[in-house]
A and B are shown apart, each in its own frame.
Chain A
Amino acid sequence: MTYLPKPKLHHPSLACNALGYTRRDYEGKISTLCAGCGHDSISAAIVRACWELAIEPHRVAKLSGIGCSSKTPDYFLGPSHGFNTVHGRMPSVLTGANLANRDLLYLGVSGDGDSASIGIGQFVHAIRRGVCMVYIVENNGVYGLTKGQFSATADIGSVSKKGVVNTDAPIDLVGLALQLGATYVARGFSGDKEQLVPLIKGAIAHRGAAIIDVISPCVAFNNHAGSTKSYDYVREHNDAINRLDFITPRAEITVDYAPGELIEVEQHDGSSLRLRKLDTAYDPSDRVAAMTYVHERQAAGEIVTGLLYVDPEAQDLHTHLKTVATPLNSLDAAALCPGAAVLDKINAALR
């Protein structure tokens, strides 16, 4: 099924972005996921974010691990190179790809099993290193492809479709990302596209490790009563702390907000993040406060969504490694090989 391309035809009135592309140019193959799967909404949000930002689709490299979520890169950004790697190891492959060519945009898509269970180590270390990437975890608390086993993000007391109650403590990927030094941390909900699209756009513009944990209900195995990752449960317990508007340098700012409700953050690339604060007490520039807040609300049984933390002055791995501005994959022998004369000197020093 997945090899079926979508028909190229589209309505002539479809809007074009600054590059002259329609939204259809950012789509991929037909999804093979279940009807109603949260992941397809996230794919649609990625398509919309990239189209609105007028990203050249072929300048995106999309990488994933294994699982339902990791299949999705085939369903968006058809003109991009994609890499469906091995289970839990997408972050290392993305890191290496990023080292090879710093000029592309790296979009990592993973799931809760892929990132929090088998791949927790790589999730942790890619964040620590500050790899410049948009890392989206499509988090449904369950193993879908193998039919309904709990993942490491399942909450204590959450009940599986077969009636099993989870007794293991959950891994909170947002809390981890904050603690590990991620410079853009957000949580979204696949059922709230208006919140999710700007979160993705902000992450794309970010020049560091951007992590978005997206609660994405599994309609087949984790959308029943007793699940804490179902559509109904998340809608009832969602504590949206802010709404983000993403403003590119070239866009005219047309909307004004009442003072005191707005935080404007300018990122390195000149883009602005305009946060409409829904919770006046929340400060997304304070990492420690963010951790405390997220934990507090979690203890109260609420799921905090929105932009939780951003450091607009973020640095990435290339900065730390002092790599040359030219992508390493385009350096030729003149730049890489010291040559025969130097080798003669090396030989002489070894005698």
Chain B
Amino acid sequence: MKAITAVNDFVIKFANVNGSGSASANELFAKAILRMGVPVSPRNIFPSNIQGLPTWYEVRVCADGWLGRRGGIDFMVAMNPQTFDADVAEIAAGGYLFYDSTRPLPKSKFRDDVRTLAMPITQICNATYDDPRQRQLFKNIIYVGALSVLLGIDAEVFEKLIGEQYRNKPKLYEPNVRALHIGRDFAREHFGGEPIGLAVRPADAVGDRIFVDGNSAAALGCVYGGASVCAWYPITPSSSVAEAFEKYCGKYRVDAASGARNYAIVQAEDEIASIGMVVGAGWNGARAFTATSGPGVSLMTEFIGLAYFAEIPMTIINVQRGGPSTGMPTRTQQADLLSCAYASHGDTKHVLLFPEDPHECFEFSAQALDLADRLQTPVFVMTDLDIGMNQRLCAPFRWDDARAYDRGKVMSAKELEAGKDFGRYKDVDGDGIPWRTYPGTHPSKGAYFTRGTSRDPYARYSERGADYIYNVQRLLTKFDTAKALVPQPIERKAARATRFGAIHFGSTAPAMDEAIVALEREGLPLDTLRIRAFPFPESIADFIAAHERVFVVEQNRDAQLRSMLVNEFGIDPARLVPVLHFDGTPITARFITSSIARELRGAQAPTHPAEAANA
């Protein structure tokens, strides 16, 4: 057996029991590596459960900075007897298994091609602590301590982090540091003679990047973007958006002297009520948003249609999870594109933004609030569980203090008084966007009756065909206007000219970036286009036209983005080759690389049987 050897480039996975307090210890481990200047990308793989079911934390350490999930496990910390066998089976040949050896296990439980590192953690904890809770919690810090020695990370890095973590609870500092050293001492004594092949060495590859989860970033974007009303209903994986919004508002939006709050947050009775409140607040001139996931969007659909037709600004942050129905509530997918882009009955189309990471979650959430006001329509921020609930290394948040909120076309009392013509649903500027008034603006001018029924340009109820056509055609003009206002796609040219391209979006980006480099190395260069919004700017059609075949990489079964491209541009479907990953785990560079390489090399097993027939 040849042991895996790697410096700053490996994957370590922690197998834990949900509710055992492992999350903070695992996060401490990941952060310590970051502090060494080495990029990491951790991912929580957790069940829909509070206590008892298996949970994993997979940390990719990568000096090259690839932040997508790699696939394959080099080092397993197996702390969950329930999943022990599967966890052991998952380790790559030559890898390492660290486990709690308190209870003896038969030899059949282990593998010859995996090096075993046994530590009687429960026994040590029981001997050290009297309190049952401490016996459980410190297990986690103890294994982190042992790992730090195995991987060659200095104790000071951890001690500093523990100090920061318990800045406000100094009593907890000492016992945590003590537990850390119990683990370190054991590892030095028992594993010291034969170092393992994996190591972390100080580097300088992190730069000024920040380490944050997308849900917090989206919430902060809503704070900076001026959202003052948030109505929501708890649903995994989006709940932490509203919770983070509340936390940030409590810090930055409360008048210190009076305690008065420059925000209102309501946890509604369901998603229908939450979006209803957002509609009401948006109609009344406040910036309002909700955060939800697929099942919530399904419930909100009637209101989304109303907001589209009555032209009411609102922002919906959709942290996508595995569907359909309850689906895989704690797994990731990009499977709500169609249900959001065309949400509600009748002819409807909505603006979607696709952030690639927490940095863009911040940017796009703030921008969504501007776009919603400018376009007077619902705007979705289409993030997902992979971005939303995992901490990710990304560019620091930026804000220009000179930036003003774009409140769109709002007619003032002064303009009304001066006799400016007000037709709530009248296109006076040629961009399809009408003017609106806030309720209560002027004693006798500018009032109108908002409704989801058809009307003439002056908001008067009408079932005349001509009035209806004028209105819905204007909505299309408005949608065209949106194309230039939304974040534009980003193209990356291959080092040499190629007939092939790949389109991707959202959380696929880090895996895609890595895959492209790998494919180039294999002599398969591809140009890529990262789509960042719907409606699609014409540059996307140009990109497709410039390539013979374009792979469309997505994390859903039905190639939803591809369908939208075909639908919106009228493109020959045969030219768009789907590359689909939808098992609920984040897509990997290995998957993309092998799928595309197989296609390009003449494909024994195409990824999409129907496609083979077309091609």
In the complex, what distance in Å separates the CA atom of A346 from the CA atom of B400? Answer: 15
A143-151, A171-179, A287-295, A329-337 - the one binding chain B: A329-337
Residue of B nearest to A351 (CB): B210
Q: Does B452 contact A (CB under 8 A)?
A: yes
**Given A99-B266, A129-B266, A92:B281 Cβ within 8 A:** no
Q: Do residues B303 and A104 form an inter-chain contact, with CB atoms below 8 A?
A: no
Q: Do residues A74 and B273 form an inter-chain contact, with CB atoms below 8 A?
A: no
Residue of B nearest to A92 (CB): B276
Q: Do residues B447 and A80 form an inter-chain contact, with CB atoms below 8 A?
A: yes
Size category of the B interface is 35 or more
Q: Do residues A122 and B210 form an inter-chain contact, with CB atoms below 8 A?
A: no
Q: Do residues A58 and B443 form an inter-chain contact, with CB atoms below 8 A?
A: yes
The answer, among B264, B440, B448, B456, for a CB contact under 8 Å with A323, is B264
Q: Does B444 contact A (CB under 8 A)?
A: yes
Q: Do residues A103 and B440 form an inter-chain contact, with CB atoms below 8 A?
A: yes
Q: Do residues B443 and A93 form an inter-chain contact, with CB atoms below 8 A?
A: no
The answer, among B399, B444, B461, for a CB contact under 8 Å with A337, is B399
* Number of A residues with CB within 8 Å of any CB on chain B: 63
- Chain B residues in 8 Å Cβ range of A329: 228, 281, 284-286, 438
Q: How far is the CB of A277 from chain B (nearest CB, A)?
A: 37
In the complex, what distance in Å separates the CA atom of A82 from the CA atom of B437? Answer: 12
- Chain A residues in 8 Å Cβ range of B266: 95, 99, 129, 317, 321
Q: How far is the CB of A140 from chain B (nearest CB, A)?
A: 22
- Chain A residues in 8 Å Cβ range of B261: 321-324
Q: Which A195-238 residues have C-beta < 8 A from chain B?
A: none
Q: Does B451 contact A (CB under 8 A)?
A: yes
Q: Do residues B452 and A343 form an inter-chain contact, with CB atoms below 8 A?
A: no
Q: Does B441 contact A (CB under 8 A)?
A: yes
Q: Which B206-230 residues have C-beta < 8 A from chain A?
A: 206, 208-212, 220, 223-224, 226-229
Q: How far is the CB of B325 from chain A (nearest CB, A)?
A: 21
The answer, among B280, B442, B449, for a CB contact under 8 Å with A94, is B280
Q: Does B288 contact A (CB under 8 A)?
A: yes
Q: Do residues A336 and B262 form an inter-chain contact, with CB atoms below 8 A?
A: yes
Q: How far is the CB of A120 from chain B (nearest CB, A)?
A: 11
Query: Using an 8 Å CB-CB cutoff, how does the interface string of B257-288 with A read, 1 for contact, 0 for none?
Result: 00111111110111011111111111111101
- Chain A residues in 8 Å Cβ range of B285: 100-101, 329-330
Q: Does B231 contact A (CB under 8 A)?
A: yes
Q: Does B146 contact A (CB under 8 A)?
A: no
- Chain A residues in 8 Å Cβ range of B539: none
Q: Does B405 contact A (CB under 8 A)?
A: yes
Residue of A nearest to B213 (CB): A350
In the complex, what distance in Å separates the CA atom of A59 from the CA atom of B444? Answer: 11
- Chain B residues in 8 Å Cβ range of A86: 276, 302-303, 306, 452
Q: Describe B's contact surface by its main secondary structure.
A: loop
Q: Do residues A56 and B439 form an inter-chain contact, with CB atoms below 8 A?
A: no
Q: Does B468 contact A (CB under 8 A)?
A: no
Residue from the set A73, A89, A94, A342 with the largest chain B CB neighbour count within 10 Å: A89
**Given A121-B269, A329-B228, A351-B211, A96:B280 Cβ within 8 A:** yes
Q: Does A282 contact B (CB under 8 A)?
A: no
Q: Do residues B440 and A58 form an inter-chain contact, with CB atoms below 8 A?
A: yes
- Chain B residues in 8 Å Cβ range of A14: none
Q: Do residues B447 and A339 form an inter-chain contact, with CB atoms below 8 A?
A: no
**Given A3-B461, A82-B449, A99-B229, A92:B443 Cβ within 8 A:** no
- Chain A residues in 8 Å Cβ range of B174: none
Q: Do residues A343 and B397 form an inter-chain contact, with CB atoms below 8 A?
A: yes
Q: Does B253 contact A (CB under 8 A)?
A: yes
Q: How far is the CB of B25 from chain A (nearest CB, A)?
A: 19
In the complex, what distance in Å separates the CA atom of A2 from the CA atom of B462? Answer: 9
Residue of A nearest to B458 (CB): A3
Q: How far is the CB of B135 from chain A (nearest CB, A)?
A: 32
The answer, among B252, B278, B283, B448, for a CB contact under 8 Å with A338, is B252
Q: Which A122-169 residues have C-beta < 8 A from chain B?
A: 122, 124-125, 129
Q: Does A78 contact B (CB under 8 A)?
A: yes
Q: Do residues A92 and B273 form an inter-chain contact, with CB atoms below 8 A?
A: yes
Q: Does B429 contact A (CB under 8 A)?
A: no
Q: Does A98 contact B (CB under 8 A)?
A: yes
In the complex, what distance in Å separates the CA atom of A82 from the CA atom of B584? Answer: 45
Q: Do residues B440 and A96 form an inter-chain contact, with CB atoms below 8 A?
A: no
Residue of A nearest to B226 (CB): A336
Q: Could you list 23 examples of A-B contacts with CB < 8 Å?
A: A79-B443, A79-B444, A81-B437, A81-B450, A83-B280, A92-B274, A93-B276, A93-B279, A96-B278, A96-B282, A96-B288, A97-B283, A100-B229, A101-B438, A121-B270, A122-B273, A323-B263, A328-B228, A328-B262, A336-B253, A337-B399, A346-B397, A351-B211
User: Which A residues lie at the B interface, using CB under 8 A?
Assistant: 2-3, 56-59, 61, 63, 73-74, 78-86, 89, 91-101, 103-104, 121-122, 124-125, 129, 317-318, 321-325, 328-333, 335-340, 342-343, 346-347, 350-351
User: Which B residues lie at the A interface, using CB under 8 A?
Assistant: 34, 206, 208-212, 220, 223-224, 226-229, 231, 252-253, 255, 259-266, 268-270, 272-286, 288, 302-303, 306, 310, 396-401, 403-405, 437-444, 447-453, 456, 460-462
Task: For the complex of A and B, list the 9 residue pairs with the smallest distance between their C-beta atoms, beginning with the closest.
Answer: A92-B276, A96-B280, A96-B277, A100-B286, A81-B439, A329-B285, A3-B460, A100-B284, A93-B280
